[in-house]
C-alpha cells in the first residue's frame, strides 16, 4: 500500500513539473532549464525526449523558431547519447523544418541531409519521402529549381512505395508549382490535374480548390482566359461549399485580376467588391490591402480618379503598417499618376519623390521604371522639356537593363529545363544499366561481363556527349530565334505605327503639324530599319552601316519628294556597328537630313547635301553639310528652339560623343562617336 502511494506521489510530482514548464513558456518565469535538469536526473531519457519534443512543438506553433531549435537539439543530444536513431532522425527533421521556417536555408539543408542518412540506415521510406519533400522547398526558396524538382520527384517515388496517396498528391501539386515557376506550363498543368484527381477521390475539398486556383493562375499566364475563369469559379464554388472565407476572398481576387487583364473592368470591380464584402467578416488586413490596390488600379483605368484615390490610399496605409515596401511604392506611383491626370502637380511630385526613395533603397527596378515614366509626363506637363528628355533617356537605359535581366532569366529557365531533363534521362539510363549489369553477372562469366560493361559505358558516354551537344546547340538556336523574332515583331510594330502617323498626316491641314508628323514618321522608320536589318542577318549583334545609311537616305528622299534634292554619299565600307549605337546614329542622320530639306533651299538653287562617314582609330566620324543659309552667327545649341537639333545633341551625348555646328558654304555638322564605350 505504501509502495502504491509512493508511485502515485511520483506521478503527481512529474505532472506538476510539466505544468510548471508550460507555465514558464507562457510567461510564468524562465525556469524551464532548471526543471528539465531535475526531470533528467531520474535517467528516463525517453520521457525527457518526449518533453523536449513537446516543448519544441509549443515554441514552433508560437513561431518562436530559435527556441524550438534549441528544444529539438536538446532532445537530439539525448537520443544520440542513447543511440536511438529513429528518435534522433525525428528531431533532426524538426530542426530542419524550424531552420527552413526561420529562412536559414543552409542549416535546413544540413539537417534534412542528416535525416536522410539515418532514414537510409533504418530503412524508413516515409521519413525519406518527407525529407526529400522538405528539401525541395529549401531548393525552391533558393531558386535552384532543377534540384527542387529532382528532390520532389524522389519524394513522390517514396510516397508511392508506402502508398500514401494524400502526401503524393501534395507533392504533385508542389511539383506543378515549380514547373509553373520556370515556364514549363504543360507539365505544370499535367501535375496539378493528377493531384486534383486524387484530392477529388479523397473528398479533400480545400486541397481540390487550391488545385483549381493554381490551374486558373497558370492559364492566366498563358492568356487562356476562358479556362482561367472556369477554374477560378470552380475553386470559388468549393470554397463556398465549406465556407472557407479566406479562400473565397482569394478566388474573387483572382477572378478580378483575370477580368482586368481582359479589360473587362465592370466584371473586375464586381469581383473585387465581393471579395471586400467577405473580408469585412474576416478582417484580414493584408487581403484588404490587396483588394483596395486592385480596385484602385481598375478605377484609374476607367478614369474614376476619386474612387481610385480613396482605395489606393487605403491600401497604402496598410502596406505601411505591415512594412511591404514594394507594394508601398506601387501605391505611391498610382497616386502620383492620379494627381498628374487631375492636374494636382505638387501632390504628384511629392508622391513621386517618396516612391523614388523606396524604389532606390529596395532595388525595385520595375517600379523605378514607372517612376521615370511618370516623371517624364510630369515635366512635360510643367513645360520643362529638357528634364523630360533626360527622363526619356533614363527610361531607355532602364528598359535595356530590364530587358537584359529578362533575357538572362529566360536563358536560366531554359538551362534549368535542360538540366532537369538531362538528369532525368541520366537516371533512366543508370537504372537500365544497373538492371543490365545484374542480368549479365548471373548469365555470363566475369571477364565477358567486364568487356560488356566497358562497351556499354563507352556507348553511354558517347550518347551523353552527343545529347549534350544537341541540347546545347538547340538551346543556342532557340535563343537566337527568339532574338530574331523580337526584332521582327518590333520592326513590324514600328511599321504599323509609322503607317498610322502617315494616315494622320493626311487629315492634318496645318503645315507645321504635317511637317512634325512627317519628321516623326521618318524617326520611326529609321528605328524600324535597324530591327529590319538585324532579323535578316546571320549576325544579329551588329548592322552594316553603309547599307543602313543608303536605305535611310532613300526613305527620307521619298518623304520629301516635292523638294529637288541631291545627296552625295561618301561612306566608308565595312563599318559594322552595334544595335545600341545604330538606332541613335540613324536618328541623328534623319534629323540632319530633315533639317537640310527644310532649311537648305535658297530661291531657285537646288538643295545639295553631302554625307561623309569614315572610321578613324576607334571612332566614327560623321559629317553632314548642305548649301543652304547655314546657322546664325550667334547660334547656341542650348538656346535653339529646334527640337531636331536638340535631339541630335542629346543623342550624341548619350553615345559619349561630340558634336560641332559650323558654317562652310552652308550648314556643317560634325559628329564624333566612339565605336566602343
Q: Give the tens place of pLDDT for each residue, 189-203.
A: 999 999 999 999 989
Per the CB < 8 A criterion, the answer to whether 39 and 48 are in contact is yes
* Residue predicted with more confidence, 111 or 389: 111
Q: How far is CA 621 from CA 531, 542, 657, in A?
A: 23, 18, 10
Give the position of cell 509553373: 180
Q: Which of 660, 649, 655 is nearest to 673 (CA)?
A: 655
Sorting pLDDT into bands at 50, 70 and 90, what band is 538?
low
Kind of pairing between the strands at 576-578 and 542-544: antiparallel
Q: Which of 364, 360, 374, 365 is nearest to 326 (CA)?
A: 364
Measure the CA–CA gap between 85 and 301, rounded to whole angstroms.
62
Per the CB < 8 A criterion, the answer to whether 139 and 148 are in contact is yes
Per the CB < 8 A criterion, the answer to whether 566 and 592 are in contact is no
Phi, psi of 286 (to 5 degrees): -65, -45
Question: What pLDDT, on a 0 to 100 scale, did the predictor assign at position 530?
Answer: 54
Work out whether the CA dihedral 77, 83, 84, 89 comes out positive or negative: positive
Strand partners for 667: 663
Work out whether the CA dihedral 623, 624, 629, 633 comes out positive or negative: negative
* Residue predicted with more confidence, 11 or 640: 640
Over the stretch 342-401, which tens digit does the pLDDT of each residue have?
Answer: 999 889 889 889 988 988 888 888 888 888 888 888 888 888 878 878 877 777 777 666
Phi, psi of 617 (to 5 degrees): 55, -120
Question: For the chain, what is the mean pLDDT?
Answer: 79
The answer for residues whose C-beta is within 8 angstroms of residue 500's C-beta and 6 or more apart is: none
Compute the average pLDDT of residues 106-134: 88
Q: With 80 as the cut, is the pLDDT of residue 607 above it?
A: no
Measure the CA–CA gap between 513 and 145, rounded to whole angstroms.
55
The three-point CA angle 622-627-633 to 5° equals 85
Q: What is the dihedral of CA 144, 207, 271, 322, to 10 degrees?
A: -50
Q: Return the H-helix or E-strand segment holding 573.
A: none
Question: What pLDDT, on a 0 to 100 scale, did the predictor assign at position 563?
Answer: 58
Q: How far is CA 274 from CA 230, 278, 279, 656, in A?
A: 17, 6, 9, 55
Lowest mean pLDDT among 20-29, 49-58, 270-279: 20-29
DSSP 604-642: TBPEEEEEEEEEETTEEEEEEEESS----TT--TTT---
* Residue predicted with more confidence, 344 or 13: 344
CA 438 from centroid of its chain's CA atoms = 47
Over the stretch 423-475, which tens digit does the pLDDT of each residue have?
Answer: 555 655 665 666 666 666 666 666 777 777 777 878 888 778 877 777 776 66
Question: What pLDDT, on a 0 to 100 scale, did the predictor assign at position 207?
Answer: 92
Compute the average pLDDT of residues 622-631: 86
DSSP 432-444: HHHHHHHHHHHHS
Work out whether the CA dihedral 537, 648, 597, 493 comes out positive or negative: positive
Q: Which of 212, 305, 226 is nearest to 259 (CA)?
A: 226
pTM for this model (two decimals): 0.52
Q: What percent of the chain has pLDDT over 70?
A: 75
DSSP 319-352: HHHTT-HHHHHHHHHHHHHHHHHTT-HHHHHHHH
Kind of pairing between the strands at 658-663 and 667-674: antiparallel
Q: With 50 as the cut, is the pLDDT of residue 31 above it?
A: no
* Residue predicted with more confidence, 392 or 229: 229
Secondary structure of residue 271 in the 3-state scheme: helix
* Residue predicted with more confidence, 276 or 490: 276
Q: What percent of the chain has pLDDT over 90?
A: 23
Question: What pLDDT, on a 0 to 100 scale, did the predictor assign at position 498?
Answer: 57
Q: With 90 as the cut, is the pLDDT of residue 248 above it?
A: yes
Sorting pLDDT into bands at 50, 70 and 90, what band is 28?
very low
Kind of pairing between the strands at 607-616 and 565-571: parallel
Q: How far is CA 175 from CA 113, 178, 190, 222, 457, in A?
A: 20, 5, 10, 18, 32
Q: With 60 as the cut, is the pLDDT of residue 591 above it?
A: yes
Question: What pLDDT, on a 0 to 100 scale, did the predictor assign at position 536?
Answer: 56
Q: Return the H-helix or E-strand segment holding 493.
A: helix 446-507
Amino acid at each position: 500500500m505504501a509502495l502504491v502511494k509512493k508511485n502515485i506521489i511520483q506521478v503527481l510530482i512529474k505532472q506538476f513539473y510539466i505544468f510548471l514548464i508550460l507555465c514558464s513558456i507562457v510567461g510564468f518565469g524562465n525556469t524551464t532549464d532548471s526543471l528539465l535538469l531535475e526531470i533528467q536526473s531520474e535517467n528516463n531519457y525517453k520521457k525527457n525526449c518526449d518533453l523536449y519534443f513537446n516543448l519544441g512543438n509549443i515554441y514552433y506553433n508560437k513561431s518562436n523558431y530559435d527556441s524550438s531549435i534549441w528544444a529539438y537539439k536538446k532532445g537530439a543530444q539525448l537520443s544520440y547519447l542513447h543511440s536511438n536513431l529513429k528518435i534522433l532522425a525525428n528531431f533532426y527533421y524538426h530542426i530542419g523544418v524550424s531552420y527552413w521556417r526561420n529562412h536559414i536555408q543552409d542549416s535546413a539543408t544540413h539537417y534534412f541531409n542528416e535525416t536522410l542518412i539515418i532514414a537510409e540506415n533504418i530503412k524508413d521510406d516515409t521519413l525519406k519521402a518527407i525529407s526529400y519533400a522538405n528539401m525541395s522547398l529549401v531548393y525552391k526558396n533558393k531558386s535552384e529549381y532543377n534540384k527542387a524538382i529532382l528532390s520532389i520527384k524522389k519524394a513522390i517515388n517514396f510516397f508511392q512505395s508506402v502508398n500514401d496517396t494524400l502526401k503524393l498528391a501534395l507533392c504533385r501539386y508542389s511539383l506543378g508549382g515549380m514547373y509553373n515557376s520556370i515556364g514549363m506550363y504543360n507539365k505544370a498543368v499535367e501535375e496539378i490535374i493528377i493531384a486534383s484527381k486524387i484530392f477529388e477521390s479523397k473528398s479533400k475539398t480545400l486541397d481540390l480548390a487550391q488545385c483549381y486556383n493554381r490551374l486558373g493562375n497558370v492559364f492566366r499566364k498563358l492568356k487562356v482566359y476562358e479556362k482561367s475563369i472556369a477554374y477560378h469559379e470552380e475553386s470559388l464554388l468549393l470554397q463556398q461549399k465549406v465556407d472557407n472565407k479566406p479562400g473565397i476572398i482569394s478566388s474573387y481576387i483572382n477572378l478580378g485580376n483575370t477580368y482586368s487583364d481582359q479589360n473587362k473592368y465592370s466584371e473586375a470591380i464586381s469581383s473585387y467588391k465581393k471579395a471586400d464584402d467577405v473580408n469585412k467578416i474576416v478582417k484580414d488586413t493584408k487581403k484588404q490591402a490587396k483588394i483596395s490596390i486592385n480596385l484602385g488600379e481598375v478605377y484609374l483605368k476607367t478614369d474614376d480618379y476619386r474612387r481610385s484615390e480613396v482605395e489606393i490610399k487605403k491600401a497604402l496605409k496598410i502596406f505601411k503598417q505591415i512594412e511591404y515596401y514594394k507594394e508601398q511604392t506601387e501605391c505611391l506611383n498610382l497616386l502620383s499618376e492620379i494627381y498628374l491626370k487631375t492636374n494636382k502637380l505638387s501632390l504628384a511630385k511629392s508622391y513621386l519623390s517618396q516612391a523614388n526613395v523606396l524604389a532606390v533603397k529596395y532595388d525595385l527596378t520595375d517600379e523605378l521604371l514607372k517612376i521615370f515614366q511618370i516623371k517624364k509626363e510630369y515635366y512635360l506637363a510643367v513645360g520643362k522639356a529638357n528634364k523630360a528628355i533626360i527622363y526619356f533617356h533614363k527610361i531607355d537605359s532602364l528598359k535595356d537593363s530590364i530587358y537584359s535581366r529578362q533575357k538572362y532569366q529566360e536563358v536560366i529557365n531554359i538551362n534549368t529545363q535542360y538540366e532537369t531533363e538531362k538528369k532525368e534521362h541520366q537516371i533512366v539510363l543508370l537504372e537500365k544499366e544497373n538492371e543490365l549489369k545484374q542480368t549479365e553477372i548471373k548469365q555470363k562469366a566475369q571477364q565477358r561481363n567486364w568487356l560488356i560493361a566497358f562497351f556499354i559505358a563507352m556507348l553511354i558516354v558517347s550518347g551523353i556527349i552527343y545529347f549534350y551537344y544537341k541540347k546545347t546547340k538547340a538551346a543556342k538556336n532557340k535563343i537566337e530565334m527568339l532574338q530574331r523574332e523580337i526584332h521582327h515583331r518590333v520592326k513590324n510594330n514600328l511599321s504599323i505605327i509609322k503607317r498610322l502617323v502617315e494616315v494622320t498626316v493626311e487629315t492634318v491641314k496645318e503645315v507645321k503639324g504635317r511637317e512634325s508628323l512627317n519628321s516623326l514618321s521618318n524617326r520611326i522608320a529609321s528605328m524600324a530599319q535597324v530591327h529590319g536589318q538585324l532579323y535578316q542577318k546571320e549576325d544579329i549583334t551588329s548592322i552594316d552601316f553603309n547599307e543602313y545609311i543608303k536605305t535611310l537616305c532613300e526613305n527620307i528622299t521619298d518623304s520629301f519628294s516635292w523638294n529637288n534634292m541631291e545627296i552625295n554619299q561618301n561612306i566608308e565600307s565595312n563599318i559594322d556597328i552595334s544595335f545600341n549605337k545604330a538606332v541613335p546614329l540613324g536618328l541623328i542622320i534623319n534629323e540632319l537630313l530633315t533639317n537640310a530639306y527644310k532649311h537648305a533651299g535658297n530661291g531657285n538653287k537646288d538643295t545639295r547635301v553631302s554625307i561623309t562617314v569614315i572610321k578613324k582609330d576607334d571612332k566614327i566620324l560623321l559629317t553632314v553639310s548642305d548649301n543652304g543659309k547655314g546657322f546664325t552667327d550667334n547660334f547656341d545649341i542650348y538656346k535653339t528652339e529646334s527640337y531636331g537639333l536638340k535631339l541630335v545633341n542629346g543623342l550624341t551625348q548619350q553615345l559619349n560623343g561630340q558634336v560641332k555646328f559650323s558654317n562652310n558654304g552652308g550648314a556643317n555638322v560634325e559628329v564624333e562617336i566612339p565605336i566602343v564605350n
